[in-house]
């Protein structure tokens, strides 16, 4: 959730933070017991992508545990620690996915000049998409129909924007997804090359009888997961270390500059030796 103090300071509040926040029609905001306020983007494509990711996680977790690890654990061929480590990665992965997909990424409240709540607009700029004022380094998301503070990109796989207030959660998701993919790939390789055939397995069970095909598919999915998340982690780490983001990259390509060249001041003015939007 947004930190009221930090957000108020970033947005140039001269008085107390606004008592309420307003969001576009594409954003559903609700409060759940013991969880707090959650945000959800009403986008069909994003919801389908998020559902696919959840199915991806379900298949990977089920196949790794039911088809590979637990049968070999019952035969005494794998350790309790291996089971615990895989379950930890799986739980943390789905928890991070739920967290980042329901966090407010830092959406700029849809406030008018009549209800400014004491916000100092002097350093704000006008968004050409929604014709509302926004703080520096905020960008408009066409999926959310709202500007987001230090927006990196809108990720359809989490059905949410990645911005100032949930970038840390997105990094956590990339890390735990990479760990889960690595554990699934390791389980497949142990099953193919190290573990002996399962003794206690019922060979007539469907998923045991056809386990080779389940494991082939799991291997492909695990490799794709590792490579995709490793690339995402490296890219995000590089962006954070250079104080730039995905929108910065888009602006650079739009004006014909390479990734690390000096950007046009209209898109990325320099201040104190660092790149800014």
Task: Report which secondary-structure segment, H or E, holds 85.
Answer: helix 80-102
Which residue bears the tokens 């990424």? 105
Position with higher pLDDT, 203 vs 25: 25
Tell me the pLDDT of the chain averaged across its residues: 79
Amino acid 118: pLDDT:
61
Nearest-5° Cα angle at 249, 243 to 253: 145
Residue 10 above 90 pLDDT?
no
Residue 58 above 60 pLDDT?
yes
> How far apart are the C-alpha atoms of 131 and 129, rounded to whole Å?
6
Largest CA distance in the chain: 74
Q: Say if residues 63 and 218 touch (Cβ distance below 8 Å).
A: yes
Which position among 63, 144, 147, 155 bears the catalytic label? Answer: 155
The pTM for the full model equals 0.78
Position with higher pLDDT, 46 vs 272: 46
Is 155 catalytic? The answer is: yes
Amino acid 263: pLDDT:
41
Report the C-alpha dihedral over residues 167, 171, 176, 177, rounded to 10 degrees.
Answer: 90
Position with higher pLDDT, 46 vs 257: 46
> How far apart are the C-alpha atoms of 57 and 170, rounded to whole Å?
16
Amino acid 239: pLDDT:
82
DSSP conformation letters of 147-189: EEET--EEETTTTEEE-TTTHHHHHHHHHHHHHHHHHHHHHHH
Question: Is the four-CA dihedral 272, 273, 274, 277 of positive or negative sign?
Answer: positive
Task: Report which secondary-structure segment, H or E, holds 141.
Answer: strand 138-141
Percentage of residues in the chain with pLDDT exceeding 70?
75
Q: What is the pLDDT of residues 20-29, one digit of tens each?
A: 447 778 888 8
Tell me which of 126-130, 171-175, 184-188 is least confident.
126-130
């Amino acid at each position: 959730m947004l930190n009221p103090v930090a957000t108020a300071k970033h947005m140039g509040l001269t008085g107390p933070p606004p008592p309420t926040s307003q969001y576009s029609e594409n954003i559903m905001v609700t409060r759940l017991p013991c969880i707090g306020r959650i945000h959800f983007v009403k986008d069909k494509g994003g919801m389908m992508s998020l559902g696919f990711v959840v199915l991806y996680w379900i298949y990977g977790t089920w196949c790794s545990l039911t088809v590979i690890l637990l049968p070999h654990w019952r035969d005494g061929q794998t350790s309790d620690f291996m089971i615990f480590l895989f379950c930890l990665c799986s739980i943390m992965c789905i928890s991070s996915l739920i967290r980042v997909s329901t966090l407010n990424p830092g959406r700029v409240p849809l406030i008018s000049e009549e209800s400014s709540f004491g916000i100092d607009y002097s350093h704000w700029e006008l968004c050409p998409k929604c014709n509302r004022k926004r703080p520096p380094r905020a960008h408009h998301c066409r999926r959310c129909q709202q500007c987001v503070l230090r927006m990196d990109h809108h990720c359809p796989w989490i059905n949410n924007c990645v911005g100032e207030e949930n970038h840390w959660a997105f990094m956590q998701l990339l890390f735990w997804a990479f760990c889960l993919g690595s554990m699934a790939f390791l389980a497949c390789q142990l099953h193919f090359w190290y573990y002996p055939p399962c003794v206690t397995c019922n060979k007539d069970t469907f998923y045991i009888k056809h386990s080779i095909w389940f494991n082939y598919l799991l291997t492909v999915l695990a490799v794709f997961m590792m490579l995709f998340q490793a690339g995402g982690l490296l890219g995000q780490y590089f962006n954070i270390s250079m104080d730039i983001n995905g929108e910065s990259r888009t602006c650079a390509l739009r004006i014909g500059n390479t990734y690390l060249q000096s950007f046009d001041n209209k898109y990325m003015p320099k201040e104190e030796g660092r790149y800014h939007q």
